[in-house]
């Protein structure tokens, strides 16, 4: 039986996650399919920031570091994120950006494998990870090397000369998911350490770092954790590695006793050593509201819905948009993909601009990839239906050909 819009309305009415949508501030008439870039705003974030600004900052001033718990925010939110990624509470910290955290962790990993010189990464990964590793190697000046491999033979490239594997679990363009348990085991068998980038995993699918015996991980707060633009990132260091190596940005917040104001650096022996300096309190507070909401959702139910939304998107595109030259580059098998669907199309940029003008918001990744993020807490089945109808209209009516859609903005 062919799907109808009405049947999807019914599916949404029975969706156990349906109630979460009301907790977000989404503009009327917008179909937001870009939570894999910037998550929608939790209404609670606005309230929290208002209180923070008008009471904690304006009235309580500097005493807020103690009385309003500002000083503890990185560890407190870290402990909450730990529950989403299968870590223990003293293994995760919220601080800095994903890239800066990766720098710190790769540096520690190389310290822990002094006889090895290779960092193994996926060349097609989100480029900042590669750039950061290249910058670290250059700065170390000790003959380290970043080696790249791709999905088809990544595992085979984990050879006994690798010091650390740095791999993103869910690919930023295709949404392909690596098997964390298997790759981690393979890295360990080769004597290497592993650092997972969970940017497209945290809040999108169940992750269990502890079960996988992962060594390190990083991830951002602004995608599926709905932490807001520029939200601080998180990092994970397995307890067994804490105190065994030192992150290189040795600022006072990572000192054993920051308020002893000693002349020389003495590392904190726990996860706090991974901090460098004063943390962005406003951003941390916003992130906490997103994480708190995520913790109320069952990640397995989130995953089920995410896979169903993806399957629906693919089926409707096949049914409605077959003549228009979209190539599905995400895995068709739901288990193998994260919470996004991506299509390659030579006119992808202009098509996406035309869709955005119709208030269907996804994004574009050069050279030709259109990404649609499916965020189960607020994306409805009917949104997928309407988005595909929108794509069909843009193609049928050649709306994308309007020259104004060819102009590239700074952020795509």
Ligand X SMILES: Cc1ncc(COP(=O)(O)O)c(C=O)c1O
Handedness of CA 289, 292, 296, 300 (dihedral sign): positive
Q: Strand, helix or coil at 363?
A: strand
Query: Binding segment for ligand X among 18-26, 195-203, 252-260, 332-340 (CB under 6 A)?
Result: 195-203
Q: Which of 20, 103, 126, 405 binds ligand X (CB under 6 A)?
A: 126
22 catalytically annotated: no
Catalytic residue among 154, 371, 380, 383: 371
20 catalytically annotated: no
Q: Which of 168, 226, 247, 276 binds ligand X (CB under 6 A)?
A: 168
d(CA 385, CA 275): 44
CB of 168 or CB of 306, closer to ligand X: 168
Query: Binding segment for ligand X among 112-120, 124-132, 235-243, 284-292 (CB under 6 A)?
Result: 124-132
Query: Binding segment for ligand X among 59-67, 125-133, 285-293, 334-342 (CB under 6 A)?
Result: 125-133
Q: How far is the CB of 266 from ligand X (least distance, A)?
A: 28
Q: Please check whether residue 144 is in contact with residue 118, taking contact to mean a CB–CB distance below 8 angstroms.
A: yes
Tell me how crowded residue 219 is: count the other CB atoms within 10 A of its CB. 29
97 contributes a contact to ligand X by CB under 6 A:
yes
223 catalytically annotated: yes
Q: How far is the CB of 167 from ligand X (least distance, A)?
A: 10
Q: Which of 38, 166, 233, 342 binds ligand X (CB under 6 A)?
A: 233
Catalytic residue among 129, 197, 215, 363: 197
Catalytic residue among 20, 103, 222, 372: 222
List the interface residues with ligand X, window 389-408 (CB under 6 A).
none
Q: How far is the CB of 361 from ligand X (least distance, A)?
A: 16
221: closest CA among 35, 83, 18, 71?
Answer: 35
316 contributes a contact to ligand X by CB under 6 A:
no
d(CA 383, CA 33): 9
Catalytic residue among 113, 116, 223, 337: 223
- Residues that contact ligand X, how many (by CB under 6 A): 13
197 catalytically annotated: yes
d(CA 215, CA 30): 40
Q: Which of 64, 90, 124, 128 binds ligand X (CB under 6 A)?
A: 128
d(CA 36, CA 396): 27
Strands 340-344, 327-328: parallel, antiparallel or unpaired by DSSP? antiparallel
CB of 126 or CB of 313, closer to ligand X: 126
d(CA 207, CA 180): 9
Q: Binding pattern to ligand X, positions 98-117, x when CB under 6 A?
A: xx------------------
Q: Strand, helix or coil at 194?
A: strand
The two structure tokens encoding residue 97: 């950006």
| DSSP notation for 248-316 | S---GGGBSSGGG--SS--B-SSGGGG--S---HHHHHHHHHHHHHHHHS-HHHHHHHHHHHHHHHHHH
CB of 232 or CB of 376, closer to ligand X: 232
220 contributes a contact to ligand X by CB under 6 A:
yes
The two structure tokens encoding residue 105: 């962790």
- Which helix (H) or strand (E) covers residue 165, if one does? strand 162-168
d(CA 295, CA 397): 43
288 contributes a contact to ligand X by CB under 6 A:
no
CB of 178 or CB of 253, closer to ligand X: 178
24 catalytically annotated: no
Q: How far is the CB of 19 from ligand X (least distance, A)?
A: 28
122 contributes a contact to ligand X by CB under 6 A:
no
d(CA 347, CA 406): 9
172 contributes a contact to ligand X by CB under 6 A:
yes
d(CA 353, CA 399): 10
**Among all residues, which ones are annotated catalytic?**
126, 197, 222-223, 371
The residue ranges that bind ligand X (CB under 6 A) are: 97-99, 126, 128-129, 168, 172, 197, 199-200, 220, 233
């Amino acid at each position: 039986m062919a799907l109808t819009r009405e049947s999807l309305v019914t599916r949404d009415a029975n969706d156990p996650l349906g109630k979460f949508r009301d907790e977000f501030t989404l503009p009327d008439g917008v179909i937001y399919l870009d939570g894999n870039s910037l998550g929608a705003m939790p209404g609670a974030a606005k309230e929290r920031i208002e209180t923070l600004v008008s009471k904690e900052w304006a009235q309580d001033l500097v005493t807020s570091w103690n009385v309003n718990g500002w000083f503890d925010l990185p560890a407190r939110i870290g402990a909450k994120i730990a529950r989403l990624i299968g870590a223990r509470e003293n293994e995760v910290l919220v601080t800095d950006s994903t890239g800066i955290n990766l720098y710190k962790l790769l540096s520690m990993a190389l310290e822990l494998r002094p006889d090895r010189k290779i960092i193994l990464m996926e060349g097609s990964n989100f480029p900042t990870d590669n750039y950061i590793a290249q910058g670290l190697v250059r700065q170390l000046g000790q003959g380290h090397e970043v080696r790249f491999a791709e999905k088809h033979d990544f595992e085979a490239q984990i050879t006994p000369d690798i010091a650390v594997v740095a791999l993103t679990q869910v690919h930023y363009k295709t949404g392909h998911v690596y098997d964390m348990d298997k790759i981690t085991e393979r890295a360990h068998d080769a004597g290497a350490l592993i650092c997972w980038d969970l940017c497209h995993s945290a809040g999108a699918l169940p992750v269990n770092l502890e079960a996988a015996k992962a060594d390190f991980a990083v991830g951002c707060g602004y995608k599926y954790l709905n932490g807001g633009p520029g939200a601080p990132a998180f990092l994970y260091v397995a307890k067994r590695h804490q105190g065994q190596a030192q992150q290189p940005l040795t600022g006072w917040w990572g000192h054993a006793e920051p308020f002893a104001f000693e002349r020389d650096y003495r590392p904190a022996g726990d996860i706090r050593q991974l901090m460098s300096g004063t943390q962005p309190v406003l951003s941390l507070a916003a992130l906490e509201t997103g994480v708190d909401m995520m913790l109320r959702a069952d990640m397995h139910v989130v995953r089920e819905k995410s896979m169903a939304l993806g399957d629906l998107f693919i089926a409707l595109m096949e049914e409605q948009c077959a003549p228009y030259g979209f190539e599905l580059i995400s895995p068709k098998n739901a288990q193998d993909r994260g919470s996004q669907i991506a299509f390659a199309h030579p006119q992808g940029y202009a098509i996406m601009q035309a869709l955005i003008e119709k208030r269907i918001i996804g994004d574009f990744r050069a050279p030709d990839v259109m990404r649609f993020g499916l965020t189960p807490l607020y994306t409805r089945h009917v949104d997928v239906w309407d988005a595909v109808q929108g794509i069909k209209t843009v193609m049928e009516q050649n709306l994308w050909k309007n020259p104004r859609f060819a102009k590239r903005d700074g952020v795509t």
